[in-house]
Every structure is written in structure tokens, then in C-alpha cells.
Structure 1
Amino acid sequence: MRLRFLTSEVWQGVRRNTSMIASVVLVSMVSLFFVGSGLLAQRQVDQAKGDWYEKVHAFVFLCTDSDTNVASCAGGEASTAQTEAVKSNLDNLRPLVTKVDYKTSEQAVAMFREQYKDSPYVSSVDAKSMPAFYEVRLSDPQRFDEIASGFQGMPGVAHVSNLHQVLAPFFSFLNMLGVGSAIIAGLMVVCSILLMVTTIRQVAFTRRRQVGIMRLVGASSATIYLPFVAEVLIASLAGAVLASGLLWAMVHFGVSGLASSGGGFVNLIGDSDVLVVVPWLFLGAFVLAVSTSWVTLRRYLKV
């Protein structure tokens, strides 16, 4: 089939069925936007876990002069002997404890200022307000309680924190966002399929005379089907373009704006993550449009 004929048929079809094509574009846009949101939420979870969750499983914070309200810190700042005792006890817990890193107050402040350099609160943090601590990596994160029970209340130890517990609400929210987006995306995909089927049937009905003539002159099934498939495909890809634009705007002005304000506890997704997700949206739009339209035409347009 000549390209000029196909282009002419598609253009005329789009002009005759503008409202139906626009509906397919909008429904595709919304469904693909939620699909993309779910993928981005999952990328955020993976990135956050890569930054913190899988690296450090526990923090053992040592006493400072301001922790005198804690029983184990009655003597004020942790002494050298107490600090070494904590290190010795951690070493005795191998192989459960696979790695131990000690950070002084000055190093802790430097880490904080580097991580949150854009935060307005950086200037108020100094070595006196930031405790020294041990970063502890465990071979089995589920056995954190053994660390907590062994060091909580130990002289020189202010408290023991499990980073998994600290970040659990954040990851739960992202997982819920991903699941919610997936559910809504699934419903919208179903709506897209139903609308595509309705559109194709309506367009086929309006062109029944033209299709009949093409049959009489011996046109092949592909020659008859392709204009219909092309119209739906164009509408779906247009929806993918709009969905990609919405996702970029959400990340660029929303998520990236939050990160630049210094409010992020972990590194947040950015424009590059959107670029990774976008090709999958176009692939999904292509597969959905072609498969739905072709199956519908084979069922309702007998050639």
C-alpha cells in the first residue's frame, strides 16, 4: 500500500473523528501518567535504599554534654575508655557485625553539612550539638534487636537507632504510592482499551461503504486495517507525549524543588529518572494501541 494513500486516509479519519481521537489522547495520557508515576515511585525506593537502607543498619550514638538526662550519660560526654569499650563490644559481635565506622563529632558535622548543604539549618549545627557515633552494618538486619539490647543503656551510649525503622514510614509511603498508581493505572488502561474499541467500531461504521468498495477491488486485510490502526496509534502516542511532559513537570518543579530546598533526607529522583521511564511509556502506548485496534478490527470488521 502506498504511503500517500495511508497518510491521506489517516488524516481524513482524524478530521472526521476529532472528538473520539481527542478522548483517546486524554485517556491514554492519564493512564500512562499513573503508570509512569508508579515506575518513578519504585525508582525512588530503589535509589533511597541504595543511598542508605542497604549500607548502614544501625547507629550507636555516643553521649554528649547535653545528654545528662539520659542515665547512661550521667557523666557527660563519652570518655575515650567508654568509646573504646563500645568498639570492643561491637568487634566481639562478629560475624553479625560486618563493618563498623567511627565518626567524630567534627566528622558528623561535616557529613551533615555536605548532605544538607542547601538547608537553612546548616549554620546552626556545630560539633557540640552533633554526637559522635558508630555506623554499624549487620549481616542480618533483622537481628538489630541484639545490637539495641546490648548497647542501649551502656555507659557512654546515648541511644541506638535502627535506620530501617527510621526510614520505614518513608518507604511505606512510596510503596503505597506505587501500588496506588498501579491500581489507578490498571483501571485507566481498561478505560483506554474500552474507548479504543468503541472508537474503532464507530469509525469502522462510518466508513462501511468505503471498506465495502475496498473489498470489491481486492484490497488486502492489511490495506483495510492499517488506517484504523494508525489513527489509534497516533492518538496513543500523543497521549504518551503529554504524559511524559506531566511527569517531567512533576519531577522538575515538584520533587527536584523539594531537594533543592534542603528538605530531603535521601537523594530524590530527578529529570534523568524521567528519561529512563519515558521509553517504557511509549512502548506501552504502542503495544496497547496496535494490539487493541488489530484485535478489534479482526472481530468487528470482517474482511
Structure 2
Amino acid sequence: MRFRHIVSETLNGLRRNLTMTLAVIMTMWVSLSLFGSGLLASQQINLMKGNWYDKIEIAVFLCTKDTRGQMCTPGQDISQSQKDEIERTLRTNPEVAPDGIFFETKAMAFAEYQDRYRGNPLGAVLTEQDMQESFRVKLKNPEHYEGVVSAVVGLPGVQTVQDLRAILEPFFQWLNLLQWTAIVASGLLLVAAAMQIGNTIRLAAFARRREIGIMRLVGASNLYITLPFLLEAIVSALVGAALACVTLAAGVYFVIFQRAQPSIQGLPWIQWHHALLAMGGVAIVGLLLSIIPTLITTRKYLRV
């Protein structure tokens, strides 16, 4: 009997405050969709970082007679003794991965150049003698590259040192900025949703103040009085969270699977298990946003 009364009160409350309930659902839908998008973006960035950081290497380009640099002798190629000193410095550096040093000859560099510009007029511009020899260095931890760079950049015969991480870092910074922008925007909307839920419950409690007073007089517990309001908020939050999950699933399918993944096949893309994690986060946040404001509001306004 009590359960039937609670369900009846919940349904009556949803009907009485239909406009406010729809507003709460819409706000939750948009805010949780943005929040879930931020979670998906975070997972995508982590996948890209893990994939690219594993491939990041330091390229130590050596002097030729045609290159200019502070450690180059004009008109002369690097000597064998200088190559040996550079290789010894790299092999004894603790940040360099075991077997992480590869020496690229001019012939190798020229073959890669021809392969890259095959069928392009630029492929006939340079010759093998125009290529630079280089050491390609893999690191134990791509995050720690400064020590290796500083160890070889001032050695005789080194024309320049190129770190691919320095090239990729600005790209990841922009991605992180977009990610945090989405999270902050969704956070503001989530706060607005929580306030709207609190106002809805407050109005519902005010409209039913006589009923609440009677229930108090007959000895109804706080939990019994609060449950209809709590269920109203939970229903609104679950509907908003469900719509947000559908939005995220549609975005993953149409944007990632149908567009991005076929177009750029060399990158790792988020999969359904990543989307499910984001949806789980959306559902948890949605429930918290419905329960916490309701408990605070009912505690304050249901005192008779």
C-alpha cells in the first residue's frame, strides 16, 4: 500500500510539474552530452598520445659540406671520429632505450626521399649526395628527452637535433584545451541542471505542503515523505542521461566509425568499450545530480 502511494505521488508530481520536468530533462540531456563528449575526447587524446609517443624518436642530423651550423666545419663532411663520439655519447645515455640507436646513411635517406616523392617532380630535385646522415634515437620514456638533446646538441659534427615530441606537443595542447573547454561548459550546465532540479523539488514541496503536514501529523517518516520527490528527480535524470547516451552512441557511430576511421586509418580511434565507459560516467553523474540537490532541498523545505 505504501509503495503504491509513493508511485502514485511520483506520477502526480511529474504531471503537475510537466513543464519544469521537461526543462530539467533538456538541461540534463545537453549538459550530460557535453560531459560525455569530454570523456570521449579525453580517451581519444590518450589513445593518440600512446600511439604517437611510442613512435617518437630523436633525430640527430650530421654535418655535410653543404650544411651550416655552429658545430659544422664549412665545406667539410663530418669525420668518422666525430661520428664515433656522437654514437658513444648516445649509447651511454641512460635515457636511450636498449638497441634504440639506428644510423641512417645517405643512401637510406635518399631511398626514403624517393619513395616519399614517387611520381612527384620534387623527387628529382635532390641527389644521394645532398642527403644528410643521421642517428635515429628511441627513448625509454618519450616524456624525458631534454637530457639526450642537451648531451648531443653541442658535439662537433652535429648540425641539428630534431625532437618529434616538440612538434606534436602544441597539437596535443590544443586538443587538451578543446577537451577542457567542453568539460567546463558541461560543468556549468550540470550546475544549472542541479539548481533547476532543486527549484522543481522546492515548488513541488510548496504545492503539497498541506499533504506533507498531514503526513507528519500521522507519523510518516522523513524517508517516506522524501521518496516521491526523490523518484521524480531520478526519473528526470535517467531520461536525460538516456538521451545523452543515445547522443554519444550516435556521435561515435556517425562521426568516428563512419567518417573519421575510414578517412584516417593510421590513427587509433575510440571503440564501443570507450563509449560505454563514458556512458557509465554520464549515468553516475546524472544520478548524483538528481539525488544530492533533492536531499538538500527536501531537508530544508519539508520541515513542518
Question: Cα 1:148–1:273, aligned 2, differ >3 Å: closer, same or farther?
Answer: farther
RMSD: 3.9
| 1:1-303 to 2 correspondences below 5 Å | 2-53=2-53, 56-60=56-60, 88-89=87-88, 91-99=90-98, 100=100, 102=102, 134-137=136-139, 140-146=144-150, 149=153, 154=158, 160-256=161-257, 257-262=259-264, 266-303=267-304
Shift of 1:199: 0.5
| TM-score calculated relative to the size of structure 2 | 0.74
What residue ranges of structure 2 are gaps of 5+ in the alignment?
70-76
Q: Percent identity?
A: 32
Q: CA deviation at 1:143?
A: 2.4
Q: Size of the alignment, in residue pairs?
A: 278
Q: Secondary structure at the match of 1:58?
A: strand
Indicate how the Cα distance of structure 1 residues 168 and 52 shifts in structure 2: closer, same or farther if over 3 A, else same: same
Amino acid at match of 1:201: R
TM-score, normalization: structure 1?
0.75
8 A contact 1:53–1:163 mirrored in 2 = no
* Alpha-carbon shift at residue 68 of structure 1 (Å): 11
Contact 1:60-1:136 within 8 A present in 2 as well: no
In 2, the alpha carbon distance for the partners of 1:233 and 1:270 equals 29
DSSP 3-state at the match of 1:23: helix
The answer to whether the Cα contact below 8 Å between 2:96 and 2:137 also exists between their aligned partners in 1 is no
Inter-CA distance 62–261: structure 2 relative to 1 (3 Å threshold): farther
Counterpart-to-counterpart distance in 1, 2:118 and 2:271: 27
Preserved contact between residue 37 and residue 181 of structure 1 (Cα < 8 Å): yes
CA distance in 2, matches of 1:160, 1:13: 69
Letter aligned with residue 261 of structure 2: A
Report deviation, 1:263: 6.8
Superposed displacement of residue 61, structure 1: 6.7
Change (3 A) 1:248 1:285: same
Contact 1:25 1:238 in 2 (8 A): yes
Which structure has the larger Rg? 2
Q: Which amino acid in the other structure matches residue 300 of structure 2? A: R
